[in-house]
């Protein structure tokens, strides 16, 4: 017998959405539901007798091991294909009964809302698009669905402050927890929740120390029901268990009624956790009437402090010493382990603990630690004051004070200010502090754009750190070398030093260092145009930064995430993340917000939104000019030059030259490209080509694949040789395609489709590109002023589908321009032959059936000149640009002359190839565009001309094939209504198409339109009888059942 459908057990506390999940898994229309009352075993056996194949037992009560065994045996008696789902607020010991391999347990982690889901609910219910608030609500509730809804409702009614954990713990959410969750728990579990509170980590050892000998069983109960949880897993970091924050607050509330007052039932066996009530020895017995709040908090704090002192982590020990009133103990832990506590992501805790110490316990060591905590937590003004009180404003500083105080300016984005502070540090001897001073000096040199000085300082830092034998200093020094080598273009050397720093950060548990390492790896992914990887890495960095408690690193991670989203064409998401990053930076007074504004400006420019890009670039230039941050200033000046190019070439040239003046060799690419586009707009194609070559060289040296693609686009625009220009664009297209930059790839595809000589595949790809650009609300011409790589393929468009017309630059050629109807007929005939040469004699015969051969030859030459004059009135091209002619024949050059029927046939052919390759989504886009072209049959105004017949029939056959493929691809896209429409249009053209009739009936039946299906079936039957074909079988009207699982 096969394994059959999965059998599931869903266990979680009230409000986790168990019933909602069950209704999705087993809709009531096809399942038999047990919802209390009857004996569950009898219910299962009766369902088996009734041959029910889907059973749901929702909200099962607490069951003894014997009861669970009996229930599972009843389930095992069901047929193998029966689907069974059990749900309970209490753990079900299913692993000890029945066939464990048949069962899967889903728990709270499977049911909890994600941060994105909380953000969506918050926006929908309260209109607040605030990712930080959503993350805070998720942290407070850990995604517990009912609690999330209560929290969002509290925010809707009372604003963001109502979403604070303290506010939530006294409102409707708290009442729900008391009555629906805590009221049903064993008293021992409630006491444990109250004793543990917001302590973290929660371990069996801690719980035992706090007076809970059955800690293992209690923790299993709370864990499996979702009251004891872990945060989001972050690689390399501990993921300690803790009580859901709002649950901890409610459980510890002195006003919480006793379990006896809630009327907890007695006499039931506690589930598989084995928890037994301490007072009576039986599970779930009458609770101790003493309120939970009467327990000694001070005693609990002393016990917890002693336990954490022995077992760690030190941050928890320091916090518990303070709670117990032991200020000296808290100060001792901070002196010994304060740097580790900050590095572990608890800067806020250190700030709070040091500030609360009495003056007698505070010394310079703790004052310096307090300043470090303020800086790490993003309170840069307070940090600067604290360092100043320690002497940081003096002319000479100790190395340890210098590297710390200088980081305030660095985090503000002020590279020059940071170098000023670092330069006052006494770099004497090989100590951890002198190594860190050299490493941070290297960071500041990079910010100021001086890569050589940065690399020299970074290498000195490594030497000092090795001699000092300090892990934290050595990892920071390796990171500074990695960054410097990365900017210098040595990707292999950079990766080598990242690899040296990473294991040290993991070994020491330095979350801040881990965040910085992964942040800079994200930069490498962005530089190499690995945008999906960059997005994943940026989100990992954001998780590290949150764990590190560092707003500045959180802002950098958010900005990097926005960069990746922008290049992936996810513009709206990117704009939201850029604005979130700007908010982060501005909240702690950092001018690094200019980097996020630069990202916005680049997004607007790449989208073709020049005015918004200009405003953002100008803001960046204003902010960055005084900070020495060349990495922001140079691309901002270059971008500003590009967006001004279409309107003010002189001003644009000034900005481009300013960018070049400020750019070091490693960051000169944007300036070179801006100068190249300006040279091209001024007619200096050779100089533009030279600048594109230099920009490509810089991009290759830096591993900057996006910069290389942009340089290739400039080269294509500067090329006279169309084949070489097309080659450059093809290479740029390959880079963007591999990078996952769909909008950039689409833009290049559009430019390629507009080049002279573009073939059917290029034109079809351009069509897809135009649709992708339209969907992204982006423009192909982002430069403006006609400086793009290529002009339209042809300003001439001949319309042969429907009424014959010729358009020049979008305007229909009036009849008066033709001078002779025969000239129009000549062009019609040439269009009908699809670019194939037509003998002059044949043309004369078609145009003048009864004419004299000698005279008609001269007339034909006159007509040829008239048509050439109509298609190229300015005589801008050679005579054979549109029409090629020799002594024997004449032909239309379809490579340089647009013909709608040619485009239509090309697109249908392209769509057919994509359908054959099963690329149905792409095929549908191409075919939809082809459908827009087919206004009517070819040469509709010449219904009797013999020369028009072959092309008309070819186009008509392609049209019918297009409708059939559109129906197929629409069904595949989940749009049966559209498929029906296409099939009806097909049958309007060909009422005897048996295949179309069958597809129509099947599509209507599959869509549940049985009345329409019967009427379509009758039409099908009548049509077949008319032509003497056997009528269809009525089985066609029977819905096709999905195969049994």
pLDDT tens track for 514-548: 898 889 889 889 999 999 999 999 999 998 888 88
**Around Cβ 101, how many Cβ atoms within 10 Å?**
8
Q: Following DSSP, what letter does each residue of 76-135 receive, concatenated?
A: HTS-TT-EEEEEESS---GGGSS-GGGEEEE-HHHHSPPHHHHHHHHHHHH----HHHHH
pLDDT at 293 over 70: no
Cα 986 to Cα 913: distance, rounded to the nearest angstrom: 20
Cα 227 to Cα 245: distance, rounded to the nearest angstrom: 9
The maximal CA–CA distance of the chain, rounded, in angstroms, is: 124
Exposure of 1015 in the CB half-sphere (CA atoms within 13 A): 4
pLDDT at 264 over 60: no
pLDDT tens figures, 617-660: 999 999 888 777 788 999 999 999 999 998 899 999 999 999 99
DSSP secondary structure code for residue 178 in this structure: I
pLDDT band for position 757 (cuts 50, 70, 90): confident
Specify the range with the lowest mean pLDDT, choosing from 32-36, 42-46, 172-176, 904-908. 32-36
- With contact defined as beta carbons under 8 Å apart, do 508 and 475 qualify? yes
pLDDT at 1045 over 70: no
* pLDDT of the residue at 794: 59
Mean pLDDT for all residues in the chain: 87
Which of 102, 132, 74, 103 minimizes the C-alpha distance to 9? 103
pLDDT tens figures, 94-110: 776 555 557 888 999 99
Instruction: Indicate if the alpha-carbon torsion angle 575, 578, 582, 583 is positive or negative.
Output: positive
Q: Quick one: 710 exposed, middle or buried, by C-beta within 10 A (0-12, 13-18, 19+)?
A: buried
Query: What is each CA distance from 345 to 186, 338, 348, 513, in whole angstroms?
Result: 35, 11, 8, 10
Name 109's Cβ contacts closer than 8 Å, sequence gap at least 6: 226, 229
Cα 317 to Cα 305: distance, rounded to the nearest angstrom: 5
Cα 989 to Cα 959: distance, rounded to the nearest angstrom: 10
* pLDDT of the residue at 587: 78
- Residues of the chain with pLDDT > 70, as a percent, come to 92
* pLDDT of the residue at 892: 92
Name 85's Cβ contacts closer than 8 Å, sequence gap at least 6: 7, 8, 9, 10, 22, 25, 26, 55, 56, 57
Report how far Cα 762 is from the mean position of its chain's Cα atoms: 29
Query: What is each CA distance from 986 to 192, 687, 970, 997, in whole angstroms?
Result: 72, 56, 14, 9
Cα 159 to Cα 173: distance, rounded to the nearest angstrom: 16
Which tokens hold the place of 965? 């493929």
The pTM (predicted TM-score) of the whole model is: 0.72
Q: Count the residues in the chain.
A: 1045
Residue in this structure with the two tokens 């880079």, named with its chain if needed? 735
pLDDT tens figures, 831-860: 999 989 999 999 998 999 887 767 888 889
End-to-end CA distance of the chain: 13
**Around Cβ 813, how many Cβ atoms within 10 Å?**
17
3-state secondary structure of 58: strand
Cα 800 to Cα 864: distance, rounded to the nearest angstrom: 19
pLDDT at 919 over 60: yes
Which tokens hold the place of 610? 């020049």
* pLDDT of the residue at 290: 41
**Around Cβ 822, how many Cβ atoms within 10 Å?**
17
pLDDT at 273 over 50: no
* pLDDT of the residue at 113: 94
Residue in this structure with the two tokens 């290029």, named with its chain if needed? 762
* pLDDT of the residue at 254: 62
Q: Which helix (H) or strand (E) holds 796?
A: strand 796-799
pLDDT tens figures, 389-403: 999 999 999 999 999
> pLDDT: is 107 or 235 the higher one?
107
* pLDDT of the residue at 789: 52
> pLDDT: is 1028 or 895 the higher one?
1028
pLDDT at 260 over 50: no
**Mean pLDDT confidence for 143-148:** 96
Report how far Cα 652 is from the mean position of its chain's Cα atoms: 34
**Mean pLDDT confidence for 355-376:** 94
**Mean pLDDT confidence for 674-696:** 95
Give the orientation angle of helix 145-158 with respect to helix 115-126, to 10 degrees.
40
DSSP secondary structure code for residue 360 in this structure: G
Going by DSSP bridges, is the β-strand pair 796-799/805-808 parallel, antiparallel, or unpaired?
antiparallel
pLDDT at 792 over 50: no
pLDDT at 1025 over 80: yes
- With contact defined as beta carbons under 8 Å apart, do 383 and 371 qualify? yes
pLDDT tens figures, 920-963: 988 898 899 899 899 999 999 888 888 989 999 999 999 999 99
pLDDT at 208 over 90: yes
DSSP secondary structure code for residue 665 in this structure: G
Name 961's Cβ contacts closer than 8 Å, sequence gap at least 6: 908, 912
CA angle, corner 456, sides to 450 and 458, nearest 5?
95
Cα 346 to Cα 318: distance, rounded to the nearest angstrom: 11
* pLDDT of the residue at 97: 57
Which tokens hold the place of 567? 């290049």
* pLDDT of the residue at 1015: 93
* pLDDT of the residue at 853: 65
- With contact defined as beta carbons under 8 Å apart, do 435 and 616 qualify? no
pLDDT at 271 over 80: no
Name 575's Cβ contacts closer than 8 Å, sequence gap at least 6: 562, 600, 603
* pLDDT of the residue at 334: 97
Cα 926 to Cα 938: distance, rounded to the nearest angstrom: 20
pLDDT tens figures, 886-916: 989 999 998 888 899 998 999 899 999 999 9
**Mean pLDDT confidence for 594-619:** 94
DSSP secondary structure code for residue 938 in this structure: B
Exposure of 970 in the CB half-sphere (CA atoms within 13 A): 21
- With contact defined as beta carbons under 8 Å apart, do 149 and 221 qualify? no
**Mean pLDDT confidence for 404-413:** 92
**Around Cβ 484, how many Cβ atoms within 10 Å?**
26
DSSP secondary structure code for residue 806 in this structure: E
pLDDT tens figures, 863-874: 999 999 999 888
* pLDDT of the residue at 1040: 63
Cα 710 to Cα 783: distance, rounded to the nearest angstrom: 12
pLDDT at 2 over 80: no
- Residues of the chain with pLDDT > 90, as a percent, come to 56
Q: 391-413 burial, b for 16+ CB within 10 Å, e for fewer? A: ebeeeebbbbbbbbbbbbbbbbb
């Amino acid at each position: 017998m096969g394994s059959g459908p999965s059998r599931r057990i869903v266990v979680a506390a009230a409000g986790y959405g168990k019933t909602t999940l069950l209704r999705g898994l087993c809709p009531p229309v096809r399942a038999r539901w047990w919802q209390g009352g009857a004996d569950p075993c009898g219910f299962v056996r009766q369902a088996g007798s009734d041959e029910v194949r889907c059973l749901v037992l929702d909200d099962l009560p607490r069951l003894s091991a014997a009861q669970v065994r009996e229930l599972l045996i009843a389930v095992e008696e069901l047929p193998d294909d029966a689907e069974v789902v059990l749900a309970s607020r209490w753990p079900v010991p299913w692993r000890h009964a029945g066939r464990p391999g048949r069962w899967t347990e889903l728990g709270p982690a499977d049911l909890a809302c994600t941060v994105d889901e909380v953000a969506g609910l918050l926006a929908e219910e309260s209109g607040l698009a605030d990712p930080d608030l959503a993350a805070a609500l998720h942290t407070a509730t850990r995604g517990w669905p009912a609690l999330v809804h209560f929290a969002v409702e509290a925010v809707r009614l009372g604003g963001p402050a109502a979403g604070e954990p303290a506010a939530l713990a006294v409102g409707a959410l708290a009442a729900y927890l008391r009555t629906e969750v805590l009221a049903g728990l064993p008293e021992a579990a409630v006491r444990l929740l109250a004793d543990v509170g917001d302590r973290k980590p929660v371990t069996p050892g801690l719980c035992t120390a706090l007076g809970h000998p059955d800690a293992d069983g209690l923790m299993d109960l709370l864990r499996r029901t979702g009251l004891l949880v872990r945060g989001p897993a972050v690689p390399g970091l501990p993921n300690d268990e803790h009580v859901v924050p709002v649950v901890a607050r409610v459980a510890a509330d002195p006003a919480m009624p006793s379990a006896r007052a809630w009327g907890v039932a007695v006499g039931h066996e506690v589930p598989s956790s084995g928890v037994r009530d301490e007072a009576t020895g039986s599970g779930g017995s009458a609770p101790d009437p003493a309120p939970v709040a009467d327990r000694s908090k001070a005693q609990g704090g002393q016990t917890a402090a002693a336990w954490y002192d022995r077992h760690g982590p030190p941050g928890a020990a320091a916090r518990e010493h303070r709670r117990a009133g032991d200020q000296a103990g808290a100060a001792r832990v901070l002196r010994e382990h304060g740097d580790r506590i900050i590095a572990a992501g608890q800067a806020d805790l250190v700030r709070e603990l040091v500030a609360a110490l009495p003056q007698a316990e505070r010394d310079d060591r703790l004052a310096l630690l307090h300043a470090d905590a303020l800086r790490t937590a993003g309170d840069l003004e307070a940090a600067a004051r604290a360092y100043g009180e320690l002497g940081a404003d003096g002319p000479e500083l100790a190395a340890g004070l210098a590297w710390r105080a200088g980081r305030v300016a660095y985090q503000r984005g002020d590279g020059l200010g940071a170098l000023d502070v670092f330069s006052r540090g006494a770099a004497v001897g090989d100590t951890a502090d002198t190594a860190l001073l050299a490493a941070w000096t290297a960071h500041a040199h990079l910010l100021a754009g001086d890569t050589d000085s940065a690399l020299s300082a970074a290498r000195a830092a490594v030497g000092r750190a090795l001699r000092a034998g300090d892990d934290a200093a050595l990892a920071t020094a390796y990171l500074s070398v990695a960054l410097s080598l990365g900017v210098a273009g040595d990707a292999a050397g950079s990766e080598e030093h990242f690899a040296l720093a990473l294991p040290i950060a993991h070994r020491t548990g330095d979350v801040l260092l881990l965040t910085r390492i992964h942040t800079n790896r994200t930069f490498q992914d962005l530089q190499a145009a690995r945008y999906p990887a960059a997005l994943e890495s940026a989100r990992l960095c954001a998780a590290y930064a949150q764990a590190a408690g560092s707003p500045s690193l959180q802002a950098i991670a958010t900005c990097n995430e926005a960069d990746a989203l922008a290049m992936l064409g996810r513009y709206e998401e990117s704009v939201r993340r850029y604005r979130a990053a700007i908010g982060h930076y501005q909240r702690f007074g950092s001018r690094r917000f200019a980097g996020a504004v630069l990202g916005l400006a680049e997004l607007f420019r790449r989208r073709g939104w020049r005015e918004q890009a200009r405003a953002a670039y100008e803001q960046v230039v204003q902010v960055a000019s005084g900070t020495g941050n060349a990495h922001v200033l140079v691309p901002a000046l270059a971008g500003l030059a590009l967006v001004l190019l279409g309107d003010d070439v002189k001003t644009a040239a000034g900005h481009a030259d300013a960018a070049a003046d400020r750019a070091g060799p490693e960051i000169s690419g944007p300036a070179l490209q801006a100068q190249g586009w300006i040279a091209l707009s001024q007619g200096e194609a050779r100089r533009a080509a030279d600048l594109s070559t230099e920009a490509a060289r810089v991009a290759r040296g830096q591993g900057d694949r996006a910069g290389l693609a942009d340089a290739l686009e400039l080269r294509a625009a500067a090329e006279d040789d169309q084949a070489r220009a097309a080659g450059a664009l093809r290479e740029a297209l390959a880079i963007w395609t591999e990078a996952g930059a769909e909008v950039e790839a689409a833009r290049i595809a559009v430019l390629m489709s507009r080049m002279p000589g573009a073939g059917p595949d290029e034109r079809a790809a351009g069509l897809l590109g135009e649709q992708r650009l339209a969907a992204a609300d982006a423009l192909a011409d982002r430069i403006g002023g006609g400086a793009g790589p290529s002009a339209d393929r042809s300003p001439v468009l001949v319309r042969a589908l429907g009424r014959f017309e010729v358009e020049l630059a979008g305007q229909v050629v009036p009849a008066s321009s033709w001078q002779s109807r025969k000239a129009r007929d000549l062009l019609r005939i040439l269009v009908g032959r699809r670019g194939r040469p037509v003998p002059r004699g044949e043309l004369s015969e078609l145009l003048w059936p009864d004419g004299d051969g000698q005279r008609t030859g001269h007339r034909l030459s006159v007509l040829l000149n008239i048509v050439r004059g109509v298609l190229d009135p300015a005589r801008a091209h050679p005579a054979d640009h549109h029409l090629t002619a020799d002594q024997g024949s004449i032909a239309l050059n379809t490579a340089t002359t647009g013909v709608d029927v040619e485009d239509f046939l090309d697109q249908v052919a392209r769509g057919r190839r994509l359908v054959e390759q099963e690329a149905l989504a792409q095929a549908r886009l191409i075919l939809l565009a082809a459908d827009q072209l087919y206004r009517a049959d070819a040469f509709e105004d010449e219904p009797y001309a013999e020369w028009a017949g072959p092309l008309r029939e070819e186009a008509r056959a392609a049209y019918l094939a297009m409708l059939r493929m559109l129906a197929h691809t629409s069904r595949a896209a989940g749009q049966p209504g559209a498929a029906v429409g296409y099939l009806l249009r097909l049958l309007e053209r060909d009422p005897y198409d048996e295949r179309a009739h069958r597809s129509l009936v099947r599509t209507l039946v599959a869509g549940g339109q049985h009345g329409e299906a019967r009427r379509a079936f009758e039409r099908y039957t009548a049509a077949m009888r008319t032509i003497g074909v056997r009528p269809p079988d009525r089985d066609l009207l029977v819905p096709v059942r999905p195969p049994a699982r």
